[in-house]
Chain A
């Protein structure tokens, strides 16, 4: 697995040479800042629930920007050929790419911990850290799933644009569409479907609920997309 770590390190470093990554990070942090500022007023509840919900929305548009080049760029520049002719397994490449991108996501998320610190200092009465911890767990799980979906679409095309748009469309469908639909009058079956989506599951985390079912869902779904990506990479062997 040290090869996966090598690839992850290279991937993470390459983000810091990419203007897109800086733009994505800036947009994410500025938007988070405004949301927090809006909530951080006298008389408001000292918590980050609203911020966490916003973060997921932001990630729907930001993760595709971070994930679009992961493999699409390897295809289009041909570096995949040098990569795969080194003694590296497809799975190591996929895990390395995923971890590199996930690492950048954590770097992007880290400054928001400051808000928790600010709340700890100014909240009266004392702040309840439970929902903040579970909220971060939720956002980290959502981020991992979104990146694995983005990585999968990035493996299917040489075009970063196609990869980003397809990823954004899927993330939109599993996050924002259910939110919009949940405000409507719906049949029993539709409600059940919505309960299974990312939207319903992450709202529980931001409320302070850690449901092992939800955790398992995110971990498994992430693993499924990583597995599918590995298969796509292997597919050149039987094409």
Chain B
């Protein structure tokens, strides 16, 4: 459905996207994951024909983004970052304008507007002026616009940014429902978002693809850096030594930062790193109990996205050497 080959974009002397190639199959939901400034938005802008690539090319639904830009744009629904809208228009009026721009005839337009208003929970505000809407509603108006002409491909740039937790959950559910009927490419810098909505993730950093795969594959690679936090009451050095003897543990750190003061002063928090593929929680808990140290908490802490990026980009750097 989308084929990108050796796509490169330079802004003057700055390299924003560096020879990216990937494919997205029909009905797939693919997440573009990366820190700010990684080149996510630029890639999406090129796919929607807003910006031309410096070199390389792409096809969307079989149409070339450079030579068949009109056809590409007919097949793509796009939600830009920050959702630019005409603030003085009313929601329904805006969607009607967008439908006319896409030359949808009156009957089809009315039907589709009703459908997207329903789908994006906009019915209650259809006659409200856009400038009076909250960020969440504006985001949905943008989404409704992207869906309006029932495009084969949906390109959503940070679709959940600025939404409250309930809206984020609703929007993710909506996107997930849209997969299958539409091919969806979305960008985000939130790792759980990819896990919640996408079939596949493409991790991009400094304009290059540094990792890609299904959320399961990504999660597996993330477990490498996950750590187990154990909080118990006992002497620091002994706790550390005992936990280090647990099979599968590669490293134990005692965290001082969040040690509570007062009567709980004797509690220590140890951060355990496991060897690949090992779940050390049960063994660690048993060890603590055997020593008679009261155990207050034990939990698996997933790696943050930053750690994830540090790791993949570090791998990338060593691979290049």
Q: Which residues of A contact B (CB under 8 A)?
A: 2-3, 6-7, 10, 14, 17-18, 77-89, 236-238
Q: Contact partner of A18 among B50, B70, B82, B88, CB < 8 A?
A: B88
- Taking Cβ atoms with an 8 Å cutoff, the residues of B that contact A are 45, 48-52, 70-71, 73-74, 76, 78, 80, 82, 84-89, 97-98, 100-103, 142, 145
Cα separation A79 to B51 with both chains bound (whole Å): 15
**A81 and B88: CB pair below 8 A?**
no
- Selected from A6, A77, A85, A237, the residue in CB contact (under 8 A) with B97 is A6
Docked CA distance A78–B70 (Å): 20
On whether the beta carbons of A86 and B50 are closer than 8 Å, the reply is: no
Query: Could you tell me if A3 and B49 are in contact, using CB atoms closer than 8 angstroms?
Result: no
Q: Given known contacts A82-B78, A82-B80, is B102 in contact with A87 (CB within 8 Å)?
A: yes
Known: A14-B86, A79-B84, A79-B85. A85 touches B76 (CB 8 A): yes
**Contact status B73-A81, CB under 8 Å:** no
Known: A86-B101, A87-B74. A78 touches B82 (CB 8 A): yes
**Roughly how many angstroms separate A227 CA and B129 CA in the complex, as a whole number?**
34
Flag if A86 contacts B73 (CB, 8 Å).
yes
| Number of cross-chain contacts by CB at 8 Å | 65
Which chain B residue shows the least CB distance to A17? B88
List 7 A-B pairs, minimum CB-CB distance, nearest first: A78-B84, A17-B88, A87-B73, A6-B100, A79-B84, A85-B48, A81-B80
Report the minimal beta-carbon distance from B194 to chain A, rounded to whole angstroms.
Answer: 24
Other-chain residue from B52, B80, B98, B101 in contact with A78 (beta carbon distance below 8 A): B80
- Is there contact, CB below 8 Å, between A82 and B84? yes
Return chain A residues, CB-CB under 8 Å to B98: 82, 86
Q: Are the CB atoms of B84 and A7 closer together than 8 Å?
A: no
B23 nearest CB across to chain A (Å): 22
Q: Which residues of B contact A83 (CB under 8 A)?
A: 101
Contacts of B71 in A (CB 8 A): 87
Distance, CA A88 to CA B82, complexed state (A)? 21
Cα(A79)–Cα(B84), bound, Å: 5
Task: A54 to B204: give the CA distance in the assembly, Å.
Answer: 61
Bound CA span A214–B31, Å? 59
Chain B residues closer than 8 Å to A81, beta-carbon distance:
45, 50, 78, 80, 84
> What are some 12 contacts across the A-B interface (CB < 8 A)?
A2-B103, A3-B103, A6-B97, A10-B86, A81-B45, A82-B98, A82-B142, A84-B50, A85-B48, A85-B49, A87-B70, A87-B73
